[in-house]
Structure 1
């Protein structure tokens, strides 16, 4: 198919006159059957690179996206243009999901969007094996790389899924990939170098400004900068980014008190409130949003004139994504950083909070060793349960499992929902009467061995298997699930499933637990150091003595134009080189204050677990960092929790270690 044919579809379906940037090159490759990567700047039109080819490919295009907001925004665009598209997500009821699957089976859908977690669902995977898929699209594809930001362990499984579902080609989309990340993505999906299309990261309409202000003066500086742009009837759409939820609330309140109408947006608000705020912003009824990074993904608003970083962003990649939401209409827009080094401790503490204790790593390895000693060498994992028992947070735990795969200790084999419940829509005897012979006997076996408690019955697969063996019938788990899903499709029963269980095979049943524990902990600590270095690279960018625009582009591998000395419109080119103000000094934490803050936690820990916490656990408590065991301990309710959240985690951990070594912890 020629680009001219694709251009006709572009005009007829989407109403655009011509392709932008590298869109034409990507679309031509995808329609031609080549796996491709599109590395486009935020707002440069990545989504069209799969939306248009989907109309020309023979089968379904499956889109994997990390966020519901991204899916909903893209889905709305497709439906407005008459493209048969749908998404499956956790907010939908079973009837809605079943109807979407039926539309896909009937070839009535061109595009189906899901989260990567959906691919772990046994029933959904069974559905995917029944249909033909032309293209796998990986949105925010940098999540697949350990060398990038926002690493998502589940993304590492996508190349295996592509093979499992016999999908002939893949399209990777991202706005924030460094050269190392691009190489990693290419390697995992076998993409040729000539099939990586990069449009460049330079946005000439964005004015990058770094005007750091001490924390105590920052609110006044923000209000003074915004006020001329927030006049009634002519308010410039603005996003102000902060790190913490309570900061969003406080800054929004303070701006409103100064006559600048602002609303806070963060993950702590209920979904109805978040949706109302987002829609108000999208429709121009609300000009200023003060938000954590929960806001912005999937926001396709062309006229955002200002993006302000009141606090430090999490990385250069996050900064690039967030400023990329400004000026998508091509008109001049300003990206202002007011932050100083006062926010650095909080961001560093988030990084330290993801490094598990050695004891937690060892707990996981002990479980694997036990499973490896069994004849079948299978290790069933309920993630939430394992997280609680090992005291390793979910994301680091998922990363640990991926690392164990990479070390050749375990391999994923399948996933299943551990618990199924059913409710009869019609009498059970009517259901049995629909079948004859062996099938009728099999259905009767199900009816007889799923005891009903009032209206619902829980399926016991082992009981069914044993009853089937005694009766000479195949009542294997797979056959039972297939039958139950068929009954539901016909409307004869209502089926509910929960408690996802991942089953791994233990490939190396004998391994040195202590040595591997040390190796894995060292890998976490190396990633910890890498993330801290990423934070300091961001500080170096903001304190750059050379053009900010071209310094940012160089980070992503883009060279400045030949002979260019600067963009001419960033704060450095304006002659203002920034020096980020230091964090305000903090009083030295004395032994008595530490002991007082720790005493209730140590007492409850001893009473509940029979032992005192170690220095890492104490530091998590004092710095207000989450740990799974803090929930049963109700640690957040204790007066010392987060008492030292403004202090560097490493310093507090070392102080706790010193207290333990000196025997000065409270009894």
Structure 2
């Protein structure tokens, strides 16, 4: 039987993909999947993880469902599969209703072998009902480290994937990632019941990457960057290079500075229009732009083999991020340089990103009180929420708020049902009377009701769903909200109207069991605090790596559980005799020299005016002083207050203690 598997694998590899042999690790993973077992492929960036599902998808009897975190990753892989004649498609937010329906019909007929979706798609109850009726052989989870709360780039919705695997009776799963520590691997393995022998690691050591850590004071960084890049970006001999920074503004400033020095550089970040980003990426891939100065928005899905230099102008967010970002260099196997211009100046800023994602206990309690308010003891109750409004009400940032909602799902408190837009508006591209005349009978009366009950301003028409429904009852026409929305989406797809929607509302079922709000608040707050400690430990691990007095390549590989890397690579800065000691920032005046009243009186007054004389908590004031954004700060116009971010250079814990002393008198 194994021989039959190997024969089919070898034949498909050559016939469809045009390869003579598999890379290290690919054969073990593909053999396990084709034999019907779940597996995990933990390969460095650029080592061919995608083939581990693409080839088995052609040999398994039913659909392969691929969950991917990024649309760009999906489109690149779909283009590759379609170029090989493999029937693959995606359902994503960029598609029209008709396009998505066509894909679903192809899946039902068994014509599509690979379907790619984002994890958020599984929150849609209609999609879950559809996919539950489709035979699925394999669930593939790309960037699978996102499933672990102890991994980087944690995505809360990934936590529900094991439940979805059981719900849809999918017999096996394949997990793909380039960055997973032993703890994250164990987490992945447990959640998906993967045998130890089917967790395949090919090692993290890259013999062609020169890891260089250079201590540089902040004032000298730009000069050193120009000095280091200039010979690498000489006109006519430009080496493809990426410079990573933390903030969008820094990307713009550095790119302008490098251009001023005659270097062919361009900024790339998430704040740019999508068309601009696409153009810059195309120019970089084509060699028209030699150097990209980018936030971490750049790189995912970039398949450029000859990137020779990766520079971290700012500290990366973690060892995992560092490994992923340098992994974009030297995929062609040729020597490539990876430089970190390192100091500790921005360390507090990185820590503040972490502290800003830990909700206050009072915020968690407000969310639980919202849920308790809809419980009436009569069975399943419904809770409707708008994420932005709930974020403002609870003062919890959107991403940790999503994490909180998933934790409540996992605890059985809530369950997702569906989502809808609370508001719709449209403008006619075809005369309303002509639109009505296109239909007959009951459908014509239905369309006429939409036209008659829509409130038309100069250009746009707004909908009153309640009035429309009542008019429908009076005239014997089904004018339920779902039918009206479907009709408008159809008109939009046909080009008869332009439809806009806003105020996404999510609907959850709520357990009838009364909540112990105090105990649950403590439990969930403790969960977030443990995540906070884990993230701070991750930052410390990164600093320890950069200041290591042992081979950097060896230490990086060990971080990811790879014990096979050489003890001395011979091509990192430590092996060259340069142990880094990162410069500390200039000493700051003691916090005792700061005036609490001067920094905080304005925001305290605004808070008391907004909340009937209540005093803000210690964490809220600490975030304000450290410049950590919070939803409530928009309402309070905190950024315009004199104390906002004034203490951002100080460690969060020290500022919190100082605030606590002044606010409560605690020592």
Q: Aligning the two structures, in what range does the TM-score lie when normalised by the shorter sequence?
A: 0.7 to 0.9
Alignment partners' CA distance in 2, 1:578 and 1:49: 39
1:351 is matched with: 354
> How far apart, CA to CA, are the structure 1 residues paired with 2:631 and 2:182?
36
**Residue equivalent to 1:646:** 649
Greater displacement, 611-620 / 299-308: 611-620
| Matching of residue 537 in structure 1 with residue 545 in structure 2 | no
How many angstroms apart in 1 are the aligned matches of 2:484 and 2:185?
A: 40
Residue of 532, 537, 555 corresponding to 1:528: 532
User: Partner of 2:328 in structure 1?
Assistant: 325
Secondary structure at the aligned position of 2:176 is classed as strand
> For residues 418-457 of structure 1, what are the structure 2 equivalents within 5 Å?
419=422, 433=441, 451-453=453-455
Please say if residues 38 and 174 of structure 1, whose CA atoms lie closer than 8 Å, have aligned partners that are also in contact. yes
Deviation string for 1:418-461 (max 9, x for gaps)? 5486989986697574xxxxxx7x99889869944459685859
Would you say the 8 A contact 1:256–1:262 is kept in 2?
A: yes
Compute the displacement of 1:369 (Å): 2.3
Partner of 1:389: 393
Match for residue 260 of structure 1? 263
Pairwise CA distance, 1:275 = 1.6
CA contact 1:244–1:292 (8 Å) conserved in 2: yes
Q: In structure 2, what is the equivalent of residue 436 of structure 1?
A: none
Structure 1, 207-216 or 580-589: larger mean CA deviation? 580-589
Q: Distance in 2 between matches of 1:386 and 1:633?
A: 16
In structure 2, C-alpha distance between the alignment counterparts of 1:81 and 1:316, rounded to whole Å: 36
Determine helix, strand or coil for the equivalent of 1:37. Answer: strand
Indicate conservation of the 8 Å contact 1:387/1:628, yes or no.
yes
Pairing partner for 1:158 from 161, 186, 193: 161
Paired residue for 2:581, among 571, 579, 582? 579
Q: Distance in 1 between matches of 2:564 and 2:474?
A: 72
Task: Determine the structure 1 residue equivalent to 2:372.
Answer: 369
- The equivalent residue for 1:607 is 609
Instruction: Supply the distance in 2 between the matched residues of 1:93 and 1:4 (Cα, whole angstroms).
Output: 41
Q: 1:116-265 residue pairs with structure 2 within 5 A?
A: 116-265=119-268
Unaligned residue ranges in structure 1 (runs of 5+): 434-439
Residues 213, 422 of structure 1: alpha-carbon distance in 2 compared, 3 angstrom cutoff: closer
**What is the TM-score with the length of structure 1 in the denominator?**
0.88
C-alpha contact (below 8 Å) 1:141/1:172 kept by paired residues = yes
CA distance in 1, matches of 2:133, 2:183: 37
Residues 1:430 and 1:280: Cα distance change in structure 2 (over 3 Å): closer
Aligned pair count reads: 651
Residue 359 and residue 278 in structure 1: after superposition, are their counterparts in 2 closer, same or farther (change >3 A)? same
Separation in 1, partners of 2:464, 2:136: 32
SS in 2 for 1:642: coil
Residue among 585, 598, 601 paired with 1:596: 598
| Mapped contact 1:465–1:474 kept (Cα < 8 A) | no
Give the Å deviation of 1:337. Answer: 1.5
The offset of 1:315, in angstroms, is: 0.9
What is the Cα-based RMSD across aligned positions, in Å? 3.4
The corresponding residue for 2:55 is 52
Measure, in 2, the Cα distance between the counterparts of 1:186 and 1:444: 57
TM-score after normalising by structure 2: 0.88
Cα deviation, 1:122-148, whole Å, max 9, x if unaligned, reads 343344345443322111011111121
Gaps of 5+ in 2: none
Select between 342-351 and 609-618 the one with higher mean Cα deviation.
Answer: 609-618
Q: Distance in 2 between matches of 1:10 and 1:224?
A: 46
Tell me by how many angstroms 1:397 deviates: 1.3
- C-alpha deviation, 1:199, in angstroms: 1.3
Worse-matched range after superposition: 316-325 or 625-634: 625-634
Aligned to 1:560: 564
